[in-house]
A and B are shown apart, each in its own frame.
Chain A
Amino acid sequence: MELVQIQRRLVDYTKSLFMEGFLDAQFLQLQQLQDDSNPDFVFEVVSLFFEDFEKLLNELTIALDQPNVDFKKLDSHVHQLKGSSSSIGAQRVKNACIAFRNYCDVQNIEGCLTCLQQVKQECYLVKNKFETLFRLEQQIMASGGSVPTIELGF
């Protein structure tokens, strides 16, 4: 595929991620932190996020499987996940976490379970999105082009 086209597609794709609310301004901040000294910064952080949420989701699932759910522990896990997701700008995961915490506050197991499913869904979805994004970037890099910076009015 032509380089310009891929670049255009990347821009479009990133824009769509913002429009659909997957990402927010924090991701732009993240991108700004990436410079020549650490060219893979975004990728690293996002990968860390993937590891993080896998671990946290696992713990959340286990915590909710217990006969006596420790809501405090649950809440702190969700809190961590919320922190992680908001750090990379995964807005929808963050929003799902907020809803999750509300259920934790009222100790609603049903709601928590629903929310866990939701959070999982959002996590994997955003993971998917990121992977697509990185693949596009890699394609561009492989073709010898530069990743276009995204200008969005935030």
Chain B
Amino acid sequence: MLIEFDFHQCNIDGNQTLSTYANSSFSSRKKHVWYKQPVDNQTGKLYGEPVRSHSFNVVNTSWFQVALNHSSGYSSLENGWNNGGEPLFLTSVSLLGKGVIAMGVPVKRLTDRLGGINLYGGSLSLITMDGKLLLNGIPNTKFIYVNGTIFLQFMWPNGVKNFPCSNDTPETYKVDTDGKEYNVRCSTVEISGVQSVYALALPHEGIASFVYSKINYSHIALVVTMVLLVIPLVFFVSSMITNAQREICLHDKLIKQMEATQQAERKSMNKSLALVGASHDIRAALAGITGFIDLCLANAAPGSDFETYLKQMSLCAQDLLGLLNSILDTSKIEAGMMNLEEQEFNLADLIEHVVDLYHPVGMIKGVDVVLDPCDGSIIKLSQAKGDRGKLKQILSNILSNAVKFTVEGHVCVRAWVGKHDFETEILASTRKGLGKYVPRLFSDKNEGNGDVKAESAVRQNRDLVEIVFEVDDTGKGIPKEKQKSVFENYVQVKETAAGQVGTGLGLGIVQSLVHLMGGEIGIVDKEFGEKGTCFRFTVFLTACETQGAAMYGGTNSSFAIRNSSPKLGIRTPSPNLDGSQVVLFMRNIERRRVSQKFLESLGISVLVVDHCHHFPSALKKIQSKLNSLLNSSRRSDMSCRSDISSSSSKEMPLSAMEGTEHKLPFNRRKDTPSFNLLVIDVNAESFSELWRTVAEFRRGLHSTCCKVIWLDKPTSPCIDPKRLDSRDEILLQPFHGSRLHRVIKLLSEFGNLSQGISSSSESSKHPYGKTRLRHTQGNDEIQGYVSSSNERYSKQGSSSPTLERTRGRLKSKRKNKDGAESSNGEKPLIGKRILIAEDNKMLSILAITTATQLGADVEHCENGNEALELVCDGLKAQRNYDYILMDCQMLPMNGYEATRRIRIEEERYGVRIPIIALTAHTSGTEAMEAGMDAHLNKPLKTNELMEVIESIETKE
């Protein structure tokens, strides 16, 4: 039996798709068995157990019959048989006329979906062709069926209107309902095979109005964005405009300012020029006045009032000249005409000299002028090259100011070699390079470009050393706010300047000079509570160290090293008890402090006594210390005893051994007792009192060598030389610089060979028994002293370097001064033939006389041509000149040309006559290029001529 599934239906029931089917055989038609089975939504396959269901009466329904007879399926809208019979779209297909498969979709699903669409105020109605209403969304309407056509009937209160809807092509009608216009669109539509009609009513401007409303929003957004963009733009532009306006304004002001500046500069320039001219004129007039005063003085009766007045006038004129000179200096600096004149000099001497100059001035006021050697670097440097005069001027000016404005206390001058390496130097110079634009700390408006140039030139040299000076006084001081302006010209600090004269140019000049020498000047801040002002300035000098060493290298090489600076002298620090003991008793605090610091820096044990009451007790303390030491070491005691009584036979081998430094401390420990040096300022206490104390101290010492240096005032000596011990020395204040060094050299560590008893025995033999260290201004005394001490020291095989130095200097000085005298005796050029070519009569007489005095045989001619002729004649006659002195600027043939020709001529004879150029210019490069051997500056000087001739001879 064939079981057929004659009916098979799928329909969606709730969320579950169910398949309902029944088998049918026409044989058992009456009874069908129905099954229900769930269908997989994805695959369409049946799953699960078929459940037997109640039977449906479908066979008799029309659609079943139609579908059964149709070969190609059939679609219709039918009431469902499930769940209360809701309508379904049913699609059924017959199976070989024996069964039907139908698939149903509930209408409700479709209408729900359609109803859910947001039509923006529109509505939709749907009806099948056979009049079954599916959806009626359009209000006040209904579908009517007339003659096979479906109409949509609008029902208004005032009437009814029909619109045909069953056309295949969609038609659009305009309908006005409740004041609203609607577009109604009707057409046929096929929904899963069922012919239907739809009508869609949309408000006339429904979607458009929606778009319009959205457009408004976007417009607003756009406008807001635009506004937000425009506001900053406006702001920006306006600020730009304001800035531009301000800039223009500033430009305008700048231009005006620049004009004003230029005008001021021009004015100032004119003023300076006028000043230069005027001061020259004034000086000339002044010179006239002084000249006439002198003339009057010559005629005045000596001793008369008239003469005194004239002398007063002369003094006033001198003062005036001094003032004028300072003004002239300023104008020179302003005009940029100030140049450095470099020469070699001894820096330590220079500083000491200046300080010594002002010491008496200070003494009168009761102000002590102290030179602080600091770390001794200046003494080490010794020889330096620079503008001596200007440095002296700077130092004098500041020092004189310091002394002038200090009423009590002291003025301290410190100098040391600044730490200075090239990197900072380069930095400094680049900074200086920008200095034109960057306002400097000590800017000086008056300083010309020439200054800056000179400065950078100074800084480029590599051998430069920076010397730092400080002048520290305890005067009234300069108020903080005035400190910057004191360096400006014509500025005086009025509060302190009361009763003081001056143009106010001094510090201005000083500053310009310091700048000229590449340095800087300023006022150093003092600590709170300290009185006075401290000026500090730096200058750059070229160091000439080789020169300095050569100076000492006279006698003994080891000596030379040891004494070239005191600091080098003590490589092996001496133990306190064996070393020398120095007692300083001075009244002035600053000097005491400075001396102590310097001595201690050299490793010398220093005892300082600041008050006369403490002096005896201090001496006693030393005495007991020494005596206990002596008791502990008997040997030294012995040797010292012998020292006192006998001659220095024991010392001599010692001194000979002192050449080697390593042995020195050893020797001393063994044989030499410690050496005492008392430095006593007589002004601190009455001399007799002091003398008594010292004498007592001496008695108390059994054997130790003790030397006393009495410091005396140069103005009012109060020492009675007769009462002094033979070993004692009198030294005049100020006690610093070379005098301090001399005292240091008396100490055994520093090469004193004549210490102790040996000195006394030596000096007693000598007419200069009491070695006077009296330094006075007079040359004679120094010479006498120096020569005598030279003899004294040279007897012992070596001389004190200071003395050696002084002697050397004096000798050379004497040589310069008495050039004529010495040449009279020697006539070094005797037998030499010299040709002098010089067109100026006066200069030629000068040159001829100079050469003649040196013993030479002189011939003279007036120009290059003549010189050439004379030389040629000489060459022919085999009588050559030994030297030719040739002026360079002559007519018709000048010296250079003549030299070139002479060189050509003499080449043929194979000789070369030394030609010395005489120029008025400082540089001799042109002369050298022309073939000359040397050049001399006019006017001719005896010693320079001799130097040149000697150098030529040694060259040959």
Contact = CB atoms under 8 A, between A and B. Distances in A.
Contacts, number: 105
Given A26-B939, A132-B294, A87 B843 contact: yes
A77 to B, nearest CB: 11
Interface string A1-22: 0000100010001001001101
Contacts of B290: 16, 20
Nearest to A32: B820
User: Interface size bucket, A side?
Assistant: 35 or more
B254 interface: no
Interface stretch (B211-219, B280-288, B392-400, B733-741): B280-288
A52 B287 contact: no
A33 B298 contact: no
Interface in B895-944: 920, 938-942
A48 B288 contact: no
Given A20-B287, A30-B846, A125-B287, A82 B920 contact: yes
A83 interface: yes
Interface stretch (A59-67, A114-122, A140-148): A114-122
Interface in A20-45: 20, 22, 26, 28-30, 32-33, 35, 38, 41, 44-45
Interface in A133-151: 136, 151
B337 A84 contact: no
Interface in B820-849: 820-821, 824, 840-843, 845-846, 849
B338 interface: no
B269 to A, nearest CB: 13
Interface of B: 273, 277, 280-281, 284, 287-288, 290-291, 294-295, 297-298, 302, 314, 318, 321, 337, 779, 816-821, 824, 840-843, 845-846, 849-850, 853, 889, 920, 938-942
B21 to A, nearest CB: 133
A45 B845 contact: yes
B840 A45 contact: no
A43 to B, nearest CB: 12
A38 B849 contact: yes
15 contacts: A16-B290, A29-B939, A32-B819, A33-B942, A35-B824, A38-B849, A45-B846, A52-B841, A83-B938, A86-B939, A96-B280, A125-B284, A128-B291, A132-B291, A132-B295
Contacts of B816: 154
A140 to B, nearest CB: 12
Interface of A: 5, 9, 13, 16, 19-20, 22, 26, 28-30, 32-33, 35, 38, 41, 44-45, 48-49, 52, 76, 79-80, 82-84, 86-89, 92, 96, 99, 102, 111, 114, 117-118, 121-122, 125, 128-129, 132, 136, 151, 153-154
A48 B841 contact: yes
Given A32-B819, A132-B298, A79 B842 contact: no
A143 to B, nearest CB: 15
B761 to A, nearest CB: 37
A35 B820 contact: yes
B840 A80 contact: yes
Nearest to A20: B290
Contact of B938 (A86, A102, A117, A153): A86
Nearest to B332: A99
A128 B297 CA distance: 15
Nearest to A76: B889
Nearest to B299: A1
Contacts of A30: 846
Contacts of A19: 318
Q: Lowest 5 CB-CB distances: which A-B pairs, in order? A: A32-B820, A87-B939, A48-B842, A121-B284, A33-B849
Given A16-B294, A84-B840, A33 B938 contact: no
Given A29-B941, A33-B850, A48-B841, A83 B298 contact: no
Contacts of A20: 287, 290, 318, 321
B845 A44 contact: yes
Nearest to A19: B318
A13 to B, nearest CB: 6
Nearest to B821: A32
Given A13-B298, A132-B298, A33 B920 contact: no
B321 A9 contact: no
